[in-house]
């Protein structure tokens, strides 16, 4: 079926000014054309063409969440909760969160780690049409030193040879990229705090060499300055957090084309929306990061680092955009970060991230203007993934479009 989206204000994801009066034509899961209505021929009318009147609404590319953990969203606290939850609860969490993600207009997510192969299996089920959800790009189990940050969801390995073997295992399991835990975190074991490198440069290089050999991107959980220098030296593609990034390292990131998902809302949610904060202990654990986080974001902006949007397990998309704006990023730039920047960071910019002829038809239609208010990103009227048009309340297990796709 062909689809025509008319009447809306178009934000194309390229950073261009919003445009009215354009029609977006979809066919075969792709964007067929973006043009004035009169430029569409007579075969774009009548039966077999679905018309969506988006008058008073915003039409923009599907959102890309560059830092999620489908199996673990909302399970916040000491990493031991993953062990206590077990495979059944975590699998149910992944299913529920896949549905929720698509309802929110997230047409693609990058799953940055899950135990038991849950992230990889969720990716495959969605891709096969057996359940609704966003397109998932997954690493499987990240690589960490024994007892390091996030060890319950990771492959533990010590020394370059063991890390190399773990990277090969990630790739054997079907990982879309290789991720290492290069530094600690406020929730890490004593001795593995956020400013302390967990992996040596030699260990990081061993993992990244395996990814690079197979043409796969590389990613890292990384906070401290020394660890940031190590991952950049090893040729990292995507850095999560980067809270102690300085001007010198930010400039190096920009030169090397590495991207940053700063996860501002996951660690600073209480500063922008106390109603969504994660409790007094969460605030206390992360208070120490608020100032470095802001300074690092400033450094990334000054250097021109490619910044993307990621919520992590405890953040929210709207608050992430709101904090980026509060920290000095232009409103339109935050929307590019949530779309085209993300696609380019994953080396998928040729097919995702903007509303252009020939690209995959991933689109979200909002009831209000996200440039005027970042919380408009939650006002989802339609989600379109690969040309399939759904209202949020239609995204349920057993949805007929997805069952048909599975057959």
The string of pLDDT tens digits covering residues 18-52 is: 999 999 999 999 999 999 988 998 889 888 899 99
Are residue 197 and residue 74 in the same domain, yes or no?
yes
pLDDT tens string 347-370: 999 999 999 999 999 999 999 999
Q: Indicate which CATH number applies to the domain containing 138.
A: 3.20.20.140
Whether residue 266 is found in the same domain as residue 365: no
CATH of the domain at 389: 2.30.40.10
Q: Check whether residue 126 and residue 223 sit in a common domain.
A: yes
Q: How many domains is the chain built from?
A: 2
pLDDT tens by residue, 189-201: 565 567 889 999 9
The residue from 316, 345, 374 where one domain ends is 345
Residues 194 and 332 in one domain: yes
Rounded mean pLDDT of 251-268? 93
Strands (E), 157-305: 178-181, 218-222, 238-241, 259-261
- Of 179-183, 302-306, 397-401, give the lowest mean pLDDT range: 397-401
What are all long-range contacts of 233-242, with beta carbons under 8 Å and residues at least 24 apart?
Answer: 233/201, 233/205, 234/201, 234/204, 234/205, 234/208, 235/208, 236/204, 236/208, 237/177, 237/345, 238/66, 238/177, 238/308, 238/345, 238/346, 240/67, 240/112, 240/310, 240/312, 241/267, 242/296, 242/300
- Structural domain for 370, as ranges: 2-61+354-406
Question: For 62, which DSSP code?
Answer: P
Same domain, 296 and 382: no
- pLDDT score of 280: 65
Q: How far apart are CA 8 and CA 58, in angstroms?
A: 5
Residues 236 and 360 in one domain: no
191 and 278 share one domain? yes
On whether both 396 and 324 belong to a single domain, the answer is no
68-72, 249-253, 320-324, 387-391: lowest mean pLDDT where?
68-72
The average pLDDT across 372-399 equals 94
The model's pLDDT over 123-168, given as tens digits with 9 standing for 90+, comes to 999 999 999 999 999 999 999 999 888 888 899 999 999 999 999 9
Same domain, 93 and 18: no
pLDDT recorded at residue 43:
87
Residues 67 and 110 grouped into a single domain: yes
Residue 244 shares a structural domain with residue 328:
yes
Euclidean distance between CA atoms 182 and 197, whole angstroms: 6
Residue 49 shares a structural domain with residue 102: no
């Amino acid at each position: 079926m062909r689809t025509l989206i008319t009447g809306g204000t178009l934000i194309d994801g390229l950073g261009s000014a919003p445009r009215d009066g354009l029609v977006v034509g979809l066919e075969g899961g792709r964007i067929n054309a973006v043009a004035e209505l009169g430029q569409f021929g007579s075969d774009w009318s009548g039966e077999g063409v679905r018309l969506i009147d988006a008058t008073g609404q915003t039409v923009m590319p599907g959102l890309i969440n560059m830092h999620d953990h489908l199996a673990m969203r909302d399970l916040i606290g000491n990493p031991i909760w993953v062990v206590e939850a077990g495979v059944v609860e975590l699998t149910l969490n992944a299913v529920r969160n896949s549905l929720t993600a698509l309802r929110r207009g997230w047409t693609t997510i990058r799953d940055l780690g899950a135990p038991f192969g849950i992230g990889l299996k969720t990716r495959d089920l969605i891709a096969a049409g057996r359940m609704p959800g966003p397109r998932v790009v997954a690493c499987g189990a990240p690589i960490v030193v024994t007892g390091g940050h996030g060890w319950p969801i990771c492959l533990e390995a010590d020394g370059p040879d063991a890390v190399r073997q773990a990277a090969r295992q990630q790739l054997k399991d079907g990982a879309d990229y290789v991720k290492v835990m290069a530094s600690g975190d406020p929730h890490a074991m004593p001795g593995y705090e956020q400013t302390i490198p967990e992996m040596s440069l030699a260990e990081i290089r061993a993992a990244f060499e395996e990814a690079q050999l197979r043409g796969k991107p590389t990613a890292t959980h990384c906070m401290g300055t020394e660890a940031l220098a190590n991952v950049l030296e090893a040729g990292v593609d995507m850095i999560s957090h980067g809270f102690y990034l300085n001007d010198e390292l930010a400039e190096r990131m920009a030169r090397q084309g590495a991207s940053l998902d700063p996860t501002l809302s996951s660690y600073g949610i209480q500063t922008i929306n106390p109603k969504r904060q994660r409790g007094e202990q969460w605030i206390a654990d992360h208070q120490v990061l608020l100032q470095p986080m802001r300074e690092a974001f400033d450094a990334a902006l000054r250097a021109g680092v490619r910044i993307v949007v990621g919520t992590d397990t405890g953040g929210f998309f709207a608050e992430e955009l709101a904090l980026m704006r509060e920290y000095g990023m232009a409103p339109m730039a935050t929307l590019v970060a949530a779309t085209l920047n993300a696609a380019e960071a994953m080396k998928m910019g040729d097919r995702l991230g903007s509303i252009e002829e020939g690209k995959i038809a991933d689109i979200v239609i909002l009831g209000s203007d996200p440039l005027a208010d970042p919380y408009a990103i939650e006002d989802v009227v339609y989600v379109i993934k690969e040309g399939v048009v759904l209202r949020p309340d239609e995204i349920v297990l057993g949805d007929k479009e997805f069952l048909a796709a599975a057959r």
